[in-house]
C-alpha cells in the first residue's frame, strides 16, 4: 500500500518532470527566471526535512521484516541507505545556497518597458 507521503513525493516528482518538459519551450527572461528560481529554492529548501524523515524511518525499520533480493543482509542495506540519505541531506544545503544566491542576484533585474 502506498502511503500519503509516498504519493505526495510521487506527485512532486511528476511536477518536476512536467517542468523539465516545459524547458523545451521558449526561454524565460530575467524576472520570470527570478520567480522560477525562487520557487525552486523554496522547494529544495523543504527537501532536507523529507530526507531526515526518510532516514529516521529507515533507522526504525526492523531488518527482520525485509529481505534484499541481492542476498545482502537487510540490516546493512538499511544502514547504507540511511547513510546515503544523510549525505544527500547535507549535499542539499549547498544546492539550496547556490539557488538562493542566484535568486538574490536576479531580484535586482527588471524589464524595460517600451512606451507607446
pLDDT at 13: 94
Q: Read off the pLDDT band of 110 (50, 70, 90).
A: confident
The domain locations on the chain are 73-109
Closest C-alpha to 51, from 101, 99, 96: 96
pLDDT at 116: 55
Whole-angstrom distance, CA of residue 75 vs CA of residue 66:
9
Arithmetic mean of pLDDT over the chain: 92
Spatial contact of 41 and 101, defined as CB atoms under 8 Å apart: no
Whole-angstrom distance, CA of residue 111 vs CA of residue 9:
36
**pTM of the full predicted structure?**
0.81
Residue 54 has pLDDT above 80, yes or no: yes
Q: Read off the pLDDT band of 73 (50, 70, 90).
A: very high
Q: Read off the pLDDT band of 112 (50, 70, 90).
A: confident
Once rounded to an integer, what is the mean pLDDT over residues 79-98? Answer: 95
Amino acid at each position: 500500500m502506498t502511503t500519503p507521503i509516498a504519493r505526495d513525493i510521487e506527485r512532486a516528482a511528476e511536477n518536476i518532470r512536467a517542468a523539465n518538459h516545459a524547458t523545451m519551450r521558449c526561454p524565460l527572461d530575467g524576472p520570470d527566471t527570478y520567480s522560477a528560481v525562487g520557487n525552486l529554492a523554496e522547494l529544495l529548501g523543504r527537501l532536507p526535512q523529507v530526507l531526515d524523515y526518510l532516514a529516521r524511518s529507515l533507522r526504525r525499520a526492523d531488518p527482520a521484516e525485509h529481505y534484499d533480493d541481492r542476498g545482502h543482509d537487510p540490516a546493512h542495506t538499511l544502514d547504507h541507505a540511511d547513510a546515503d540519505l544523510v549525505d544527500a541531506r547535507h549535499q542539499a544545503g549547498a544546492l539550496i545556497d547556490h539557488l538562493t544566491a542566484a535568486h538574490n542576484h536576479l531580484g535586482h533585474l527588471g524589464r524595460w518597458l517600451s512606451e507607446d
